[in-house]
Amino acid sequence: MTTTTTTTTPVLQAKGLTKRYGRVIALESGDLELYPGEILAVIGDNGAGKTSLIKALSGALIPDSGEIFLDGVPVHFRSPMEAREVGIETVYQTLAVSPGLDIADNLFLGREERKPGVLGSVFRMLDRKRMREEARRHMSELGIGTLQNIGQAVESLSGGQRQAVAVARSAAFGSKVVILDEPTAALGVKESNRVLQLIRDVRARGLPVILISHNMPHVFEVADRIHIQRLGRRATVITPKSHSMSEAVAIMTGAAAPPPRVA
Amino acid sequence: MSSKSPPDGAHRVATAATEPEPAPDFESGHDDSLGLRVQHVLHGNPVLGPLAVLLVAIVAFSLVNTRFFSAPNLSLVLAQVTVIAVLALGQTLIILTAGIDLSVGAVAVFSSILMANFATKLGMPGVLALILGLICGTVMGAINGFLVTRIKLPPFIVTLGTLTIFFSLNAVVSQSETVRGSDMPSLMTWTGTTIPIGGFRLTYGSLIMLALFAYFFYALRSTAWGKHVYATGDDVESARLAGIRTSRVLFSVYTVAGLLYAVGGWILIGRLASASPNVGVDYNLDSITAVVLGGTSLFGGRGSVLGTLIGALIVGVFRNGLQLGGVEVVWQGFAIGLLVLVAVSLDQWIRKVKT
């Protein structure tokens, strides 16, 4: 994906998004382009506006002004639900899994499937068998078939496995974009590697991914392009090949002037 | 309490409190691994603990007084438990969402007074009075739900306020007068009529209660609404981000609970053969007690209506058994209070389970 050209329409594009909280400007001019089949990392110091930018893209925040385009068509999200209805799935830092429910329930939470016929329409009975089979299929498609029991409560899983459930859910239902907010922040080395592999698997299935992370080695390992956010706007976009980690950090913190966009 | 040294305090108290007789050390082992195993089993099957307590209590009380395990007495226990069980069912739904409802008793009694007065003072037919009374209870629940979800007040404060308001309105409407069952249409007191099954006498009220438990057992386990109730109670923010309209779920829970309390009020009329504005003060705490004894966590997201049914039966069995055993009323409260504390400690301990 190093040869991003202007001829390709971005899957997801933000133009001039702004968000103010009183006098505080969280996002001054939020621009972003996500192209088909790529992993775009978004990095930035605390308060650079990356969370506001991502929230606007996933419907969790309504920007004061600016535009969002999905496949070139302008869209306006008023809730996370509206964003996911058009195929943008987000895995939030807080994971958004319900610890007490099992893996299958979590995967289908908010879009449960009912049994066909009278049982489903009148008695509103859930089709647990089918949901479990589907859940098992989704999990093994992403190479996380090691979980023996799909009926296991999520709270009994390790941090990495929980993250895997959340990623599997977004990959299973996201038809356009998957947004991952700090997916490796709470994980150990081994678990992080599995999640990074999971992210590549999602890309391999044709879904572009936006990855927000503070972890430079992880960003440089999986990202195709790196969007650097600084002081409420996009400073530049680099690639892991064009710049080193320390250069990226320098741009991010303002120690170095942002180079022109290379990608 | 026994002089043995089990590894964990909570369990020792649990066994001791359920039995007036010297406690056999049937659960708490002498090494940590057994204790941990018990913890795991209870974590996976939270109904097992309450069920064990209930069975042990029944056996113990039967040994103390042979009259306890007789058909007439068990019929009495079930009849006594019925109203509390229905109220506790509504309370369970609310506690599953990490809320609490202090207005249970007020809604139930006020609904029963409204029904009775619709039928007598306003001369409505029984069916109409009943339906209107049930609607009134539902509206009271909806008011709680509105205040919790729209004004975003803590459930404790909301229901503390509505408790006082509903009791006050109750006094105004009833003019502190009891309506006698004989003055009401027969439908009002129908819930108290019994069906003999052998020596056992089952009331229609108890049948309604069991049917409601069966229905909500199904609704919580096998419908999307049930999953959403658990998810909302487990972690409201996670549930919202997962796309659940948590406000709507909460509102539905408070509203449905109001309807259940009104049904409880109807059953209460049958039980007392009258509608009295002066009962129901104990119902708040009794319903919460039943829920907690049944293993439903006050922190939300965990528990079952099956547990609540067992919890209500535990309360009924204890009150009745202690009475038959010649324990004074004042000490019955003591024993039940102790049971609640043990149940909550147990809940905390089970939650700490490590995998």
In this structure, is the dihedral angle defined by the CA atoms of residues B290, B293, B295 and B297, taken in order, positive or negative? positive
* Residue of B213, B90, B208 lying closest to B145 (CA atoms): B90
CA B262 to chain centre: 14
Contact A97 B238 (CB under 8 A): yes
Span B277-321, pLDDT tens digits: 988 778 888 899 999 999 898 889 989 999 999 999 999 999 899
Strand residues in chain A grouped as ranges (E): 12-21, 24-34, 39-44, 65-70, 73-75, 88-91, 177-181, 209-212, 225-230, 233-238
Euclidean distance between CA atoms B9 and A254, whole angstroms: 58
* Residue of A233, A153, A143, A158 lying closest to A196 (CA atoms): A143
Give pLDDT, residue B355. Answer: 46
ipTM of the complex: 0.79
Contacts with A106 from chain B: Cβ below 8 Å: 242
Q: Which phi and psi angles does A179 have, rounded to 5°?
A: -110, 125
Which stretch of DSSP H or E encloses residue B353? Answer: none
Span B120-147, pLDDT tens digits: 999 999 999 999 999 999 999 999 999 9
Q: Delineate the domains of chain B, giving CATH numbers in brackets.
A: 68-336 (1.10.3470)
Q: Delineate the domains of chain A, giving CATH numbers in brackets.
A: 12-100+174-253 (3.40.50.300)
Give pLDDT, residue B222. Answer: 92
Contacts with B296 from chain A: Cβ below 8 Å: none
Which residue shows structure tokens 């320390």? A246
Give pLDDT, residue B157. Answer: 96
Chain A residue nearest residue B249, CA to CA:
A110
Q: Residues in chain B, how many?
A: 355
Chain B residue nearest residue A170, CA to CA:
B242
Best-predicted range by mean pLDDT among A91-100, A195-204, B62-71, B111-120?
B111-120
Contact A98 B230 (CB under 8 A): yes
User: Are residues B335 and B17 in contact, defined by beta-carbon separation less than 8 angstroms?
Assistant: yes
Contacts with A54 from chain B: Cβ below 8 Å: none
**HSE on the CB side for B147, CA within 13 Å?**
17
